[in-house]
Structure 1
Amino acid sequence: MFNIKKFLYFFFFLLHCSPSIAALEPPELLLNTQCINVHASWNNVAGATGYELWYQPIDASQDWDYIDLSSSTELSTPLWNGANYYIALAAYNAQEVSEFSPIELLTAGDFLLPPIQKISINNLNATISWNQIDNAEKYELWYSIDSLETWSQVEFDKNTHSISIDLWEGAYIQTTMASIGKYDSFSRFSEIIDIAIGGKPNITASYENTLYPIDVIDVFPASTASPYAPILQNCVYSKTRTQSCKLSTLPLLGQEFPAPSINNILDRTLVSHAWMTERFEQFLQLLPPDSLKLFRAVTAVVISADIRPAYYDASTGAVYLDSQYFVIKSDPKSVSDTVDQTPDYREGCSDSLNFNQLFRYIKNGDYAYFEAESERTINDVLLLAGQVLFHELAHANDYFPPSSLGQLDFNMSVHEAADNNIKNRVSHQLTQFFPLSSDVLKYLADVMYDCSNSTCQQTSYTADGVANEFIYDGANDTYNYNTVYEDLAMLSEEAMMLYFFGVERDIALTNVPTNKQASGDEYIVAWGQRHRISAPNIKNKIKFIMSQLIPEIDFASYIDNAPAPTDMIIGKSWNENITLGNNKRSKKSRLHKHQQPVWHINYQ
């Protein structure tokens, strides 16, 4: 096989190298591209008086050429969308030229995005369709049938945007896609989509993937008298899926208790520090009794100083909570010192974008809770930690809705049970009945919450443009667009916060102030709304979701009688919009920039 790198090195050697051994070291080239703007920099090579930058279009439409950069050690220049070059750098002086730096591929402008898959199921037939991607030459679909390990692929030309598949009762298929451009350039893969047809899926995975690093902080049972105390830690921190505990060893709470009590929950709780046990018990005692039914879908609760962000894990059936949510102002310093201050790894994901999303929970025209540890009381913890817990419990009840608990096989591990329960998964039905429609927001969510690179077009979006996409779709947050699981969890979180605590959620799309320390007065609302879950295009989604997660509560009647959404005043600041028309200024006015959302792990 022809090796272009070896050829070029040989070519450059013949062109530049004298019979004597070169004393100059090759430069170390660093490339940084922001949209079409390219910045190249390199180290100052000892003995060099100048540098040559060699380049050739990747399609070889022109011969190799070079720019003499004299003694400069950096170059900044705009190119154009779609520019693709091989480049290499050499140092020189009056006597010799160095060897060349490793050849780099320089790509400027927008990169290929993956297609967004949409699934439609009719009896035993599934149709997979996808959007057209600019500059894609073809598409590659990867699929797995009844297995999480064996994947196959099929390619489609750029004019094909759907495929119809005849399936069978009990079929379980996973699909993901990528775009392929010129020179066989690849996009990243799209979100994996599950397709299940009736019956019980026949899934044959060995689950050997590593789940947790070995160096997690030690945790211990909140209740040493718990019958599960000896096995809790091994079950919720399984090193591999093979070691995921069977339901006969650690069943879901709802398999034992149709209405779990506080003691039942504490018997399944692990903590990293003793103070967390007392605080979590205080928290549970303040929760409305009906909300405890949401714990039916979990095997355990873990509260630890090294958890950030909070998440739900379908492989263990446990929810994992960041201990920072439970600290209050009266706690001694010894308590707050146990909380890890490491930032959420997703902070800064949105820095390249030209808009912000803000949110807050409101009660009686003011912030519903204090977020800062120095101000919090236990009542603030109830709402702050309650918001996070409701979100994670929504994920758990998505995987194991109450109607499915009696059908689970005790001989299966938690992960096997989750996979085989896909036909009952609420999010699987949600994507069929109430899919989100905005591809623009789905791609933006990849940037905002997965830290994917932003395209040139995405960095040009303003808050007004994003609002035009958001208003008419069935979401209450941009995080809904990250995955269908988050669509369900965000909607149910807001619904439960309203029902159980009487607090309303604000969301707004705003500018990006030039001052990084800007107050809420400098964030100007391009669009915003309070109590969005009563919007006509969201109500029916809420009714469906909540009827599945906690069927004992008549959410349908509650949402039907809830007040309509209230629009914010466009052009006014985030702070000015807290009372929505009332000139009274909130005593607690402060900025609630979009926190990094709580998270869940989906290993499928």
Structure 2
Amino acid sequence: MKRSLCCILISAMGLTACGGSSDSSTESPGDITPPPVVPDGLVRCDTQFQLDQTTTTSGLVFLTEPNYKSGQPAAIIATLQGKHVTEYQFNWTQTAGSKLILKSSKSPVLAFTAHDTGSYKFEVTAVGRQSSFTQSIEINVEAGSDVQVSTRVDHQVTEGNSVSFRVDTPETNPLSQISWCIAGGPALNVDISAPEKALFTAPNVDEDTLSTLRVSAVINGQSVTDDVHLLITKEGSITSQYFDERVAKTFAYNLSSPYKDDLQPCVYSNQLQQSCTISRLPLIGQLGGINKQAILDRLLVSHHWMGENFEYFLENLDPNSDFATLLQSVTAIVISYDVRPSFYWVVTGAIYLDPNDLWLLAEERDTINEAPDYRSSFGNDLNFLMPWRYVKDNNYTSYVVPRSVRADRTAEEMMPDLASLLYHELAHANDFFPRSVHTSLSGPTLLDDYFRRSDAKQLVSDQLTASYPLNSQEMANLAEVSFKGATANGTQKAYNAADISSFFSPDRASDYYAYSTTREDAAMLFEEALMSHRYSIQRDVAVTDKPENPTGSTINVDWGQRGRIGDASLESRAAFVINQMMPELNGAALVNGLPEPIAMKQGLSWSENLMLSPSTQSQLNRTSASATFTPEIRLSGDRHVKPVD
């Protein structure tokens, strides 16, 4: 089940909306259509590339590059004679040479960049169900050129999964005349409409197959090339009605977890036929109180660093145990390079996280797939926009450095986007299965319990709507257009920003997206309240006009608020949701303690309305590289897929 398919399937079952987060985008709001691909396939290079092959006595085969250069991305690939590497779990360790940053140590493809010359030695262990192998390989790194092009990053991919490669585009020694060709392996249809990156779907293969792409460019008048390698692995047939598009290879972060053999087949498998039983994979909270190790036992990842960073987040950035508490209502946490955007899914009871919200090092970001998160053109006929942003001390808190800039980021820079994402997605899980019902769940699957609770209108979001309904039918009808693809009628097309302000501002929704479903209504209230309460990070929401080229400087605010969740008209609704999901917080006291909303200045642009409140001029999340980039405008619902009822 790729991200685009998730909610189609959920919609057919009448389940909840999925939510998510994506990397900061450089796209303009509105239409985002799939980019063109080379219709007849990417051309083959004049000269094909051949890796050196070293066969060991165990049958493990090393594929190495003829030459390794300092400062140049490189790889060593391990395969197995007569076997498929997908049947084995790999683990690489460096045993000699200057210390390297290794972020694919659990993959058959070990990618790295050596900055020092000399000898390097590695040991790899491949463990299968009935056999295991341990072998060593040594390489020598020679001095690299001062002028070179770097393409990232060599990796393994399952057949049918998305692939992305990117060329470094530094401001110094800029590249020109970038071109791509196939230097080895099968024919490929590749999107190179943005020449600095190549996007494609790995073809189906009869056996594990190596594919090599070559990048050519000109730097300071000098022609340079680089080869990047992809190991396409043969996989079992897709038999799942849920995950019916190829998913990445994942593994349990804690290899000693009692659930290590249950996670992948129950929550992220192309062979998943039906929901696993509660007895096989219960909610984390059904087994006792808050236990962070129990959470890590349910963590499924495509790269080990994803688990390490998630563990760091739980240990160091969750001082109040909010997320450890909320995670009691999921069966598992999946973090994989092909998840985009993030979502919660009741069929598996798991939360799926986009690692764009977790990376800290540039080498970690390199491993994340860049396949576009295609957003629909719903609402294009409407004549207004509703942007949002999170701010603290009149500064954006979201990380905005584009992928083209290879920079590390701090945990402080990572935290706001990840925290808001988790509050939202885990609100969905706690809407369906709050801790108060864990002991009464009877199964045999969570899906069975969901249907029983939904039919009885026992979900938190159902109770919210029954006690504190939203009132604007106009906004509800517009949400059908903006978020579900309904066709706008003549009246709706004629609405201007002032009309929308008159519908939205007196009602009790925290955000336009709250009108998409009752589930999103509850999740938005919870997310915004907790971000303000825990971090003093407030959400801006506004109604603006819709010029031909919407940017922060060109859209003008008709109405807007900073910290709308503190509005008196929303207090009872927010307090109810908080009390149902985290009663220990005392929802009424929490909401009463939130700052009063600050009105935006009508007629000024969205950007001009950033400086609204008294500021200590702190630079939360605006340090290092992020301080030099201007955020794109974000529109209501853009972190989420099409909602469902």
- Once residues 599 and 590 of structure 1 are traced to their aligned partners in structure 2, the CA distance between those partners, rounded to angstroms, is 19
In structure 2, relative to structure 1, the CA distance for the partners of 1:467 and 1:361 (3 Å cut) is same
Deviation at 1:358, TM superposition (A): 1.0
- Map of 1:150-549 to 2, 5 A cutoff? 210-237=241-268, 243-261=274-292, 263-285=293-315, 286-291=317-322, 292-328=324-360, 330-332=361-363, 335-372=364-401, 374=405, 376-409=409-442, 411-422=443-454, 423=456, 424-515=458-549, 518=551, 520-549=552-581
Could you tell me which residue of structure 2 aligns to residue 551 of structure 1?
Answer: 583
Alignment check: 8 A CA contact 1:349 1:449 kept:
yes
- Once residues 382 and 367 of structure 2 are traced to their aligned partners in structure 1, the CA distance between those partners, rounded to angstroms, is 35
Alignment check: 8 A CA contact 1:575 1:591 kept:
no
- Once residues 477 and 209 of structure 1 are traced to their aligned partners in structure 2, the CA distance between those partners, rounded to angstroms, is 36
Alignment check: 8 A CA contact 1:314 1:603 kept:
no
- Once residues 243 and 601 of structure 1 are traced to their aligned partners in structure 2, the CA distance between those partners, rounded to angstroms, is 23
User: What amino acid sits opposite 2:440 in the alignment?
Assistant: Q
- Once residues 256 and 513 of structure 1 are traced to their aligned partners in structure 2, the CA distance between those partners, rounded to angstroms, is 54
- TM-score of the superposed pair, with normalisation by structure 2: 0.57
Could you tell me which residue of structure 2 aligns to residue 592 of structure 1?
Answer: 633
- Once residues 572 and 499 of structure 2 are traced to their aligned partners in structure 1, the CA distance between those partners, rounded to angstroms, is 26
- Once residues 209 and 437 of structure 1 are traced to their aligned partners in structure 2, the CA distance between those partners, rounded to angstroms, is 41
Q: Secondary structure at the match of 1:412?
A: coil
- Once residues 504 and 327 of structure 1 are traced to their aligned partners in structure 2, the CA distance between those partners, rounded to angstroms, is 24
- Once residues 272 and 468 of structure 2 are traced to their aligned partners in structure 1, the CA distance between those partners, rounded to angstroms, is 32
Alignment check: 8 A CA contact 2:341 2:373 kept:
yes
Deviation at 1:600, TM superposition (A): 7.5
- Once residues 598 and 582 of structure 1 are traced to their aligned partners in structure 2, the CA distance between those partners, rounded to angstroms, is 29
- Once residues 614 and 593 of structure 2 are traced to their aligned partners in structure 1, the CA distance between those partners, rounded to angstroms, is 24
Deviations 1:549-594 (A, max 9, x none): 0111123112112221111111111112112167999985644322
Could you tell me which residue of structure 2 aligns to residue 5 of structure 1?
Answer: none
Report the RMSD for the aligned CA atoms in angstroms. 2.6
Deviations 1:131-177 (A, max 9, x none): xxxxxxxxxxxxxxxxxxxxxxxxxxxxxxxxxxxxxxxxxxxxxxx
Alignment check: 8 A CA contact 1:241 1:315 kept:
no
- Once residues 643 and 616 of structure 2 are traced to their aligned partners in structure 1, the CA distance between those partners, rounded to angstroms, is 45
- Once residues 224 and 583 of structure 1 are traced to their aligned partners in structure 2, the CA distance between those partners, rounded to angstroms, is 47
Alignment check: 8 A CA contact 2:576 2:587 kept:
no
Deviation at 1:448, TM superposition (A): 1.9
Deviation at 1:498, TM superposition (A): 1.4
- Once residues 256 and 426 of structure 1 are traced to their aligned partners in structure 2, the CA distance between those partners, rounded to angstroms, is 22
Deviation at 1:244, TM superposition (A): 0.7
- Once residues 420 and 581 of structure 1 are traced to their aligned partners in structure 2, the CA distance between those partners, rounded to angstroms, is 47
- Once residues 240 and 225 of structure 1 are traced to their aligned partners in structure 2, the CA distance between those partners, rounded to angstroms, is 24
User: What amino acid sits opposite 1:592 in the alignment?
Assistant: I
Alignment check: 8 A CA contact 1:358 1:509 kept:
yes
Alignment check: 8 A CA contact 2:344 2:351 kept:
yes
Relative contact order, CA 8 A, sep 6+: which one is greater? 2
Could you tell me which residue of structure 1 aligns to residue 193 of structure 2?
Answer: none
User: What amino acid sits opposite 2:356 in the alignment?
Assistant: Q
In structure 2, relative to structure 1, the CA distance for the partners of 1:383 and 1:593 (3 Å cut) is same
In structure 2, relative to structure 1, the CA distance for the partners of 1:231 and 1:209 (3 Å cut) is closer
- Once residues 439 and 614 of structure 2 are traced to their aligned partners in structure 1, the CA distance between those partners, rounded to angstroms, is 51
Alignment check: 8 A CA contact 1:313 1:602 kept:
no
- Once residues 415 and 601 of structure 1 are traced to their aligned partners in structure 2, the CA distance between those partners, rounded to angstroms, is 21
Deviations 1:26-57 (A, max 9, x none): xxxxxxxxxxxxxxxxxxxxxxxxxxxxxxxx
- Once residues 582 and 289 of structure 1 are traced to their aligned partners in structure 2, the CA distance between those partners, rounded to angstroms, is 27
User: What amino acid sits opposite 2:547 in the alignment?
Assistant: P
Deviations 1:360-404 (A, max 9, x none): 111122112323355743212211011111101000000001111
Alignment check: 8 A CA contact 2:384 2:545 kept:
yes
Q: Secondary structure at the match of 1:428?
A: helix
In structure 2, relative to structure 1, the CA distance for the partners of 1:584 and 1:295 (3 Å cut) is closer
- Once residues 319 and 438 of structure 1 are traced to their aligned partners in structure 2, the CA distance between those partners, rounded to angstroms, is 31
Q: Secondary structure at the match of 2:561?
A: strand
Alignment check: 8 A CA contact 2:598 2:613 kept:
no
Alignment check: 8 A CA contact 1:395 1:600 kept:
no
Deviations 1:293-342 (A, max 9, x none): 001110011111222221111111111111222234x322xx33332323
| Larger Rg computed on CA atoms | 1
Alignment check: 8 A CA contact 1:232 1:270 kept:
yes
- Once residues 637 and 436 of structure 2 are traced to their aligned partners in structure 1, the CA distance between those partners, rounded to angstroms, is 32
Deviation at 1:257, TM superposition (A): 2.8
Alignment check: 8 A CA contact 1:313 1:601 kept:
no
Q: Secondary structure at the match of 2:539?
A: strand
- TM-score of the superposed pair, with normalisation by structure 1: 0.61
In structure 2, relative to structure 1, the CA distance for the partners of 1:564 and 1:380 (3 Å cut) is same
In structure 2, relative to structure 1, the CA distance for the partners of 1:602 and 1:576 (3 Å cut) is closer
- Map of 1:19-30 to 2, 5 A cutoff? none
- Once residues 282 and 592 of structure 1 are traced to their aligned partners in structure 2, the CA distance between those partners, rounded to angstroms, is 30
- Once residues 433 and 517 of structure 2 are traced to their aligned partners in structure 1, the CA distance between those partners, rounded to angstroms, is 18
Between the aligned residues of both structures, percent identity stands at 36
- Once residues 304 and 581 of structure 1 are traced to their aligned partners in structure 2, the CA distance between those partners, rounded to angstroms, is 39
Deviation at 1:414, TM superposition (A): 1.6
Deviations 1:232-256 (A, max 9, x none): 0111136698621111111101101
Could you tell me which residue of structure 1 aligns to residue 84 of structure 2?
Answer: none
Alignment check: 8 A CA contact 2:484 2:642 kept:
no
Comparing 590-599 with 560-569, greater Cα deviation is found at 590-599
Alignment check: 8 A CA contact 1:302 1:320 kept:
yes
Q: Secondary structure at the match of 1:275?
A: helix
In structure 2, relative to structure 1, the CA distance for the partners of 1:472 and 1:524 (3 Å cut) is same
Q: Secondary structure at the match of 1:342?
A: coil
- Number of residue pairs the alignment of both structures matches: 390
User: What amino acid sits opposite 2:328 in the alignment?
Assistant: R
Query: 5+ residue gaps in structure 1?
Result: 1-207
